[in-house]
Amino acid sequence: MLLLVDLDGVVYRGTEAVEDVAAVLATREKAGDDVVYITNSSTAYRTEFVKRLSALGAPVAFDRVVSSARATALYLATLSPTVRRVLALGTDGLRRELEDVGLEVVMAGDAAERRRVDSLDAVEAAGHPHAVVVGLDRGLTYDGLAIVSEVVRAGVPFIATNRDCVFPGERCLWPGAGALVAAVEAASGVTPISIGKPAPYLLEEAARVVGRSASEALVIGDSLTSDLPAARSVGAGFILMLTGVTSRSEYDALGPDERPDEVASNARELASLLEVASSAGRV
C-alpha cells in the first residue's frame, strides 16, 4: 500500500510523539508498504524531519519526506528547462530544497539589497526569475515583500508553498506562510498556484517519489480542512486520526458527505484499519 502520512497531529503533536504511531508505520513498512510523509511546513530542510522521525522509531529516508518546500521544488523541477531561476521569500530550508532540484535561487532579501544599492528595477535585481516562490519567512522585511510583489505584478508566475494562515505555537497562533502569501496577493493582484494541502500538488509529488499515483494512496491525516480535501482532490482514500486538530465531537457532527472514509482514535485502531485494507487487497 502507499501511505501518505501527515506529521503534526498524526506522528507527533508539537514536541510529543503520538503514542505508538511510529511503531505501526514501522510494521507496515516491514510488510512492504511505501510510507511517505507529507507536511505543509515550508521552513525546514528534510534532514530535520528525518532526524525527528528516526528518533521516534518511524521508518524514514531522506526522500520519503515531502514538505510543502520540497513539493514546491519537485513541482518546479517538472517545469524545467522553462523554469531555471526563482526568486524566493522564505527560509534557508526552502532555499536548500529549491537548490537541490537544480534551481538557481535568489532570496528576496538579497534582491531587495541589490535593488537598493545598484538602483536596479525589481525584475533585474531579482536576476530575471522564471518564477516567484513564497513560503514562511520569520526574517521578513518590507523591502523583501515589496520586491516579490513587484516581480509578481510584472507577470512572473507566482507559486505559494501553502496557504495556511496560522500555525500553533506554545501560547499563541503565529502567522503562517499563507499570511505572507496573502500580502503578496493583495499587493500584486495575482492569485498564486498553491502547492500545499488542501491543493493536490503536494500529494501528487509525494506519490511520485515512490513512482506511484496519488489516486492509489491512503492518506492518514488529522485535518478536515487540509488533509481530507487534498485526499479527495486526488481520489485517494483517507483515514482521519483523532489525535490532532479534530475532536471526536467535531467528527460526530459531520454530515454524511463530509465524513472521511475511516476514522481512528489511536495507533491501535489505525493498525487494524490498515490491516483490513491490506487484507482486502489494497496495494
Site of interaction with Mg ion (CB under 5 A) = 6, 8-9, 222
**Least Cβ distance, residue 227 to Mg ion (angstroms):** 6
Least Cβ distance, residue 13 to Mg ion (angstroms): 9
With respect to Mg ion, which residue has the nearer C-beta, 65 or 156?
65
Nearer to Mg ion, 110 or 269 (CB): 269
Smallest distance, Mg ion to C-beta of residue 99, A: 27
Residue placing its CB nearer to Mg ion in the complex, 149 or 226: 226
Sign of CA dihedral 167, 198, 21, 249: positive
Q: In degrees to the nearest 10, what's the CA dihedral of 44, 48, 49, 54?
A: 180
Nearest one of 156, 151, 144, 146 to 83, comparing CA atoms: 156
Give the whole-angstrom CA distance, residue 245 versus residue 255. 18
* Rounded Cα gap, residues 152 and 169, in angstroms: 31
Q: How far is the CB of 224 from Mg ion (least distance, A)?
A: 11
| Residue closest to Mg ion, measured at CB | 9
What distance in Å separates the CA atoms of residue 38 and residue 11, rounded to the nearest whole number? 11
Q: Residue length, the chain?
A: 283
Q: Which is nearer to Mg ion, 36 or 132 (CB)?
A: 36
